Structure 1
Amino acid sequence: MIMKQLIAIIAICTLLSDGFTQEPTIWRGPSRDGHYPETGLLKQWPAGGPEIIWSLTDLGQGHSSAIVDQGFVYTTGMISDMGYLFKLDQKGKLVYKIEYGPEFTESFYGTRGTPTIVGDKIYLLSGLGKLYCFDNETGDILWTKDLFKDFDGSIIQWGMNETPVVDGKVLYITPGGKKNNLVALNRHTGDLIWSSPGNGELTAYCTPLLFEHNGRKLLATHSESHLMGFDATTGKMLWKQHQPNEWSVHPNTPIYDEGGLFYLSGYGQGGGMLELSPDGNSAKLKWKHKNMDSRMGAAVLVDGYIYGSGDSRVWSCLDWKTGEEKYTSQEIGHGVVIYADGMLYCYSQRGELALVTPDPTGFKVVSKTKVALGTEQHWAHPVIYDGILYVRHGRALIAYKVK
């Protein structure tokens, strides 16, 4: 029996190593923490805002962020009721536009999840729970999985919204089923590697965080009323932290640093810090703070301080170690935050785009402009690549020169 278990673990570890491992290009930067490794960016924008070097206004409706890999820009959009994958060059010229299937047409209609790029393959989850693997060069669909039919998942109120997580040969996704709550698939074939029942709750719009804690690979993600920790190799659920809110909406990927795991969600719940045990098998609440209760704007950790916003319409800064609130500000509306080259890039739900100095003594806006192109909600997370800031707003994608 022990020998069989060892063989199974060795087989899974072999899957995790993908030969010449290709680093995935993922939502919210290389570490999924909102940090982009850019240098030489502008520390102040021109009076009228950064130069728009190109824009597209016919992508179809969507909340999907752009993602940039090897000089190509990818995003999705819904035209009529069908979803399309777009691949553009860095000048905004269309490389291809691939129809992949029906999309979410109910409340806040349009595409949701952002593609993940790994070498010659693209991975995407539709708002209707269909997981796709595309050939990067041609856009051809290589395989699909239906999270509802194949893994007993269930549609959630505002549609499935998750970006696939890839590590080596393994792809992680959250069907939210009673039996198949979180699954690991072979990313080349879609075949099941392991399945975890988790806490048996519905998924909650959250893209999991894959991280290494004292040499052990772990996953952290939200279900409808819990934050959960998993062993990434076996799928075993290690711990859970109760985190309910009125609408079971938890899109913000947690942030990990030196044994601490910060999580946050909206509707008055706010954020908290978990301290993981050395082996990762348990977690205890270290502190909690309700002001930073972002529904979907995430937060960033910079030099020991957490920066983000909340439903209370304020931006705030928390001390990573203690949770002490350093300031609050209503200078711009609440929204999304990313970080690059020593500056915060804040994109509010009112369409304000601000360049802000990360400083625990106050919310210091250096430059500000308005995103005028596009439609519907200002929800997509901006991306910075090669000195260009990409902002998705509904049917539009705008490329700003910030270097």
Structure 2
Amino acid sequence: MFTKVLIPTDFSVASAAMAERVGEIPGVREVVLFHARISGSRDPADEALRRMQELVQRQGIPAEVVIAEDDGTPVPERILRAAAERGVDLIAMGLRDQGLLRNLFSGNVAATVLRDTRIHVLIVPQSGGGRPPLFARLLVPTDLAALTPQVRSTLEDPAGDGTAVLLHVVEPGQETEQEAGSRLAALKSALSPGGREIEALVRSGSPARTICAVADEIGASAVIIPRIGKRDAAGSAPLGSVTSAVLECVKPPVLVLAVSVHLRIEVRELRSEEFALAEEIWIDYHGLKADPGTDRIFGVFANDTLVSVARCRRHPDGYEVDGVFTPARFRGRGYARKAMDALVEACQHDILYMHSVRDLVDFYAAYGFISIPESDLPPTIRARYAFALGEMEGANVQPMRRAAGSFRR
């Protein structure tokens, strides 16, 4: 599973402890010990790296030593570059204190690597003696989606021993624990028998807090969790909300898996009974309200979550496009363009007017909208921006019009 592992080291006790425990990671055949020099610092690189190399080799694993001279780029960037160049499967980092991850945007090396990498990361806090092997008692939280190949291979490894707990946390307003338990049992039964004993557990509460509490309760040797789960797959955050929160409270080592999550995209016109979903989106966009008597609203759904909308409103003297909005957490994925594609395709046989912010004039021009003077707007549509008092340019607003005509996505 993890045949080639990179261990970044600053010669701390924590990073040396990671080298000492690397043999506990399933399938390791090769280790890269990486050190990034910092100009002006004095570090005993050669001797310290030799000792770490011996720690790894005593576990029967070949170890390559790599030292990156200071080229002006940040240390995390050099770590990620080395990982990519050497094709490693896992970055394993020893930490003095898991609390260093409580702010993933704090700028410390471990947090930045975890936030920015797209490969698997193992975080191992420094601990005293008496610790169990890393994969002896695993806690595997699941949102009941199909288990990833990486998780399956760990749980089904015939050479693996110890135990694992499959945990699903039922949030308020969701299905009952009994319903979730049935689905979790089906997930467990789909696993091929291996050497590891697996238990299914359902709890109710806040996902992150419950995961951390159960990790303490069962004495987990490690927690395995994906970077992104179903709830955050539609967004652009580097780490999912549950994973980020778990990293703030969990005490044992954490294996963060860089897995792909299938995203089902549906673009369609909303039914009138769904207009409340658009109004939820618009809470952060002038608090717009929908009117089934005049509005056609087009939305983009990602895994059944509405992530972007665009509206065509019928006025007595013309049709206006407005309410084109994607919440910040979903931006950068092209959802607004998909919503506009659907709107213009459906409304292409009518003349369309809009008030565009000036930064988006080129975006709407791609749909055939052209800039027009304020006086060319139909009176009722022009009246919506009466606050500009004839100075729409000064208000950063540009009136636009699209002539009736064919459009294809």
Asked if TM exceeds 0.5, the reply is no
Superposition TM-score tier, normalisation by shorter sequence: under 0.3
TM-score, normalised by the number of residues in structure 1: 0.22
TM-score, normalised by the number of residues in structure 2: 0.22
More helix per residue: 2
Q: For CA contacts below 8 A with separation 6 or more, give which structure has more relative contact order.
A: 1
Larger radius of gyration: 2
